[in-house]
Structure formats: structure tokens, C-alpha cells
Structure 1
């Protein structure tokens, strides 16, 4: 029996809507990453972008467990001297709660050429 490879024309994309207030950030991001990759489909293929589009609502009511609101810090560097930046998650949630969800999801996706297309199908609403 021959192995069947799905063609890009045969991919059927659905739309999923998730509520950020109903589950913690990590579980939400994990679920969103799975839907964006298409791993919930029986025809999943690693090298083809076959995921669905996801809309996350109520980003302002985001839930973090434990003491993460007080202790978690996002870090980045511009690769210039003195270019190290830190921002506390509490400040980020107050200013841009949708960015917290986008960061969590993008860090759960594989870092390859398909990542940007998958992230384009993610919509986060306050």
C-alpha cells in the first residue's frame, strides 16, 4: 500500500474560537499552537502548513497561575551594546494583553519557514 501525501489544494481550513478567560495561559497557548499546526487532523504532515485559523477572545481577562504575574519577565536583546530590554508580564498584560498570548503561542510553534504563516492565522481580541 502506498503512502498518501496530502496536496495543498486538498487542505480544508476551519475557524476556531477560544476564550482566554476560561483556561490558563499555557494551556491556551498549547491548544492554539496545536490548532495552528494542524496536529489535530488525521492527515497532519510536518512539512505542509495545514493548520486552521484561530480567534482568541477576552485577552484582557487572561489567567496566569501561581505567582507568575509578579515574577515573570520577558527579555529581549537588540544585539547592540546596552540593548538588553526587560518587561514584566504584569505591565504587558495591563498595556497589551494580546501580545502576551502571541508571545506564548509563537514560542510553542516550531522555528521554521512555516511559523510566520501560522502566526498570521492567529487573531487575538481584547
Structure 2
């Protein structure tokens, strides 16, 4: 019996909408990563980008458990000597709530050439309004 291997031209992409209000960041990000990768489909093939589009609304209302709002840091380096920038998640969630979810999902995707393409299918909005009504996204309960 031969194994089924999906071809990139055969992929059918759907649009899903996820409400992040009151959801825990890590659990939400892992479910979104699974949808972006395509692991929820019976035709999943590891080397083919066969995932779906995900629209996340209410990103500003996502929650972190414990003391992570104050203790967890978002770090990046500017490229200059001694310029490691550390931002607490409380400040990042207040200023750029979209970046919090994008960073969490990016860390949960596989570290290969497909990750950048998968991340282009993730759309995050801080409030309840989004610009993808014409795609008629299905509501995804996580």
C-alpha cells in the first residue's frame, strides 16, 4: 500500500477566525501553529506547505498565567555593541498586542524554510474588528 503525499498544487486553503479574549497565550499559539502547519488535515505532508489562514481578533485581551506579565521579557539585539533591548510583556501587550501573538506562534512553528510562508497566513488584530469578512472565515473554537 502506497503512502499519500500531497502536492503543493492540491492544497485547499480555508480561513479560520479565532477570538483570543481570555485565552492563555501558549495554548492559543500552539493551536494556531497546528492550523498554519496543516497538521489538522488528513492530507498532512511534512515537506508541503498545506496549512490554512488564521485571523486572530482581540489580541489585546489575551492572558498570561502567573507572574509572566512582569517577569517574561521580549528580547532583541539592535546590532550595536551592548544594545540588547528587553521589554516586559506587560508593556509589549499594551503597545503592540499583535506582536505578542506573532512572536509566540513564530516560536512554535518548525524552524525551516516553510516557516516564513506559514507566518504570512497569520493575521492578528488587537480589537474585535478585522478586514477579512470577504473571505468568510469559519469560527474556530480553541
Superposition TM-score tier, normalisation by shorter sequence: over 0.9
After superposition, the C-alpha distances for 1:54-87 in whole angstroms (9 at most, x for unaligned) are 0000011111111111111111224431121111
Match for residue 68 of structure 1?
A: 68
After superposition, the C-alpha distances for 1:5-51 in whole angstroms (9 at most, x for unaligned) are 11112111111111111410001100100000001111111100000
Could you list the structure 1 runs, at least 4 aligned residues long, displaced by more than 2 angstroms after superposition.
Answer: 77-80
TM-score w.r.t. length of structure 2: 0.85
Shift of 1:111: 1.1
Alignment of 1:95-106 (within 5 A): 95-106=95-106
TM-score w.r.t. length of structure 1: 0.95
Cα distance between partner residues in 2 of 1:22 and 1:35: 20
The CA RMSD measured in Å over matched residues stands at 1.1
Q: Structure 1: which 5+ runs fail to align?
A: none
Match for residue 92 of structure 2?
A: 92
Q: Structure 2: which 5+ runs fail to align?
A: 127-142
2:21 is the counterpart of 1:21: yes
Q: Is the 8 A contact 2:55 2:122 kept in 1?
A: yes
Cα distance between partner residues in 2 of 1:37 and 1:71: 30
Q: Which has the higher mean CA deviation after the structures are superposed, 61-70 or 79-88?
A: 79-88
Count, aligned residues: 126
Q: Is the 8 A contact 2:59 2:125 kept in 1?
A: yes
